[in-house]
Amino acid sequence: MRRALITGITGQDGAYLSSFLLDKGYEVHGIMRRASTFNTDRIDHLYRDPHESGARLFLHYGDLQDGSSLRRILQKSQPDEVYNLGAQSHVKVSFELSEYSADVVGTGVLRLLEAVRDFTGSSGKQVRVYQAGSSEMFGAAKPPQNETTPFYPRSPYAVAKVAGYWYCVNYREAYNMFVTNGILFNHESPLRGETFVTRKITRGLGRIKKGLQKKLFLGNLDARRDWGFAGDYVEAMWMMLQHQEPGDFVVATGEAYSVRDFLDAAGEKMGLDWKQYVEIDPRYMRPTEVDYLMGDPAKARNTFGWKPKVTFRELVGMMVEHDLELAEQERTLMKAGHSVALRGVANG
């Protein structure tokens, strides 16, 4: 049985990737952070008590800021493949938490690579590493962006991702390690964190539609992004590690839409005129914005045959349906006398 270790298993991509790898027959190990509240909502449905026979998902406490935890977990889990998805992944928050973001997103990659290098040295086991790079690394570079486009990062998050990218290239060249950088453009789903703009929109409009909220406050509606479906993108991560050689691969749909386009599509699907409810709040603007990202995924398509399956409209539809249902559940709870608060959205 092949074994995978995933950092960031409790995040959006961690949940989709775990499910994907379990379906492929893998034993999956995940690194989770200690938190005072539960942070495993996205993977609870995949988890079985390890005391039961047949359990194939195992969770370990660890942190990308703590190198010894990474080493210990590598020893324990003996992985064939490591997927580094852990990150402080919010671009706006990285302006507030710049040193922390640099440490987790940039130096965290170095800690993990060092731990894998030593693990390979002591065990003799060849491990394949996937690094979650980001289209944010292109930042201000002109679209369409591909693997040869020079990086021009525009946030502490993006600068740290560029550092992580180059650590990976360096370890590939210096130690002949199998380390692959995925350069993924924005990918969304009903599991997307509620402070990213797509989910903030489907959550907010869903609640407005159900009478739970009056306004939705947003920032720059003109930014353009290449939005795909997270389920499709985790398949690309896996395909990258099955390819005979490591490399750097852009994963994108090749189409870009503005935040305003997303509002139009979500509003139309809900039968709601969003212009009546959306207000601009400058606190959601970034000190330096990334205006236009649109990827060219030709290399991934030609090298290992990856293509996105879910279209932009299908993605919006899937998220709208999910969040209308969630708002309906909240309304039921409210009618039964429970208080219902929208967590965190005010800060996204």
Which stretch of DSSP H or E encloses residue 68?
A: helix 67-77
Is position 181 an interface residue for ligand NAP (rule: CB under 6 A)? no
Beta bridge partners of 145: 295
Q: Identify how many contiguous H helices and E strands the chain contains and give both numbers.
A: 11, 13
Give, in degrees to the nearest 5, the angle at Cα 89 between 207 and 257.
60
CA dihedral 79, 84, 86, 88 (to 10 degrees): 160
- 292 belongs to the catalytic site: no
Residue in 16, 83, 130, 157 annotated catalytic: 157
Stretch that binds ligand F7E, among 189-197, 265-273, 299-307, 336-344 (CB under 6 A): 189-197
Helix (H) or strand (E) holding 109: helix 108-123
Whether 157 sits among the annotated catalytic residues: the reply is yes
Binding part of the chain for ligand F7E, among 86-94, 233-241, 303-311, 332-340 by CB under 6 A, reads 86-94
Q: Which of 134, 135, 155, 189 is catalytic?
A: 134
CB of 236 to ligand F7E, least distance (A): 14
Rounded distance between C-alpha atoms, residue 139 and residue 136, angstroms: 5
Select the residue interacting with ligand F7E from 58, 95, 196, 304 (CB under 6 A).
196
Q: Closest CB to ligand NAP among 209 and 322?
A: 322
Q: Which two tokens stand for residue 119?
A: 């693990």
Of the residues 79, 106, 228, 348, which one makes contact with ligand F7E according to CB under 6 A: 348
Question: Is 228:252 a contact under the CB 8 Å cutoff?
Answer: yes
Minimum distance from residue 134 beta carbon to ligand F7E (Å) = 3
Kindly give the pairing relationship between strand 224-225 and strand 257-258.
Answer: antiparallel
39 binds, among ligand NAP, ligand F7E, none (CB under 5 to 8 A by kind): ligand NAP
136 binds ligand F7E (CB under 6 A): yes
Is 27 in contact with 102 (CB distance < 8 Å)? no
Task: Figure out which of the listed residues 197, 234, 265, 294 binds ligand F7E, where binding follows CB under 6 A.
Answer: 197
Lay out the site mask for ligand NAP across 78-97 (x = CB under 6 A, - = otherwise): -------xxxxx--------
91: part of which helix (H) or strand (E)? Answer: helix 91-96
Which residue in 10, 186, 189, 213 binds ligand F7E (CB under 6 A)? 186
Contacts of 186 (CB under 8 A, 6+ apart): 135, 198, 225, 226, 227, 228, 293
Closest distance to ligand F7E from the beta carbon of 260 (Å): 10
Three-class SS string for 246-270?
Answer: CCEEEECCCCCEEHHHHHHHHHHHH
Is 114 known to be catalytic?
no
- Of 133-141, 206-214, 298-306, 334-342: span binding ligand F7E (CB under 6 A): 133-141
239 membership: H or E segment, kind and range: helix 230-242
Within positions 14 to 73, which residues make up the interface with ligand F7E, using CB under 6 A?
A: none
* Contact of residue 40 among ligand F7E, ligand NAP, none (CB under 5-8 Å per partner type): none
Could you tell me the two tokens for 167? 């650590």
Work out whether 10 is an interface residue with ligand NAP (CB under 6 A): yes
Q: For ligand NAP, give the closer residue by CB, 17 or 278.
A: 17
Rule CB under 6 A: is residue 219 a binding residue for ligand F7E? yes
CA atoms within 13 A on the CB side of 110: 12
Q: Cβ–Cβ contacts within 10 Å for residue 169, how many?
A: 15
Active site residues: 134, 136, 157
Report the interface residues with ligand NAP, using CB under 6 A: 7-8, 10-14, 31, 33, 35, 39, 63-65, 85-89, 104, 132, 134, 184, 186-187, 193
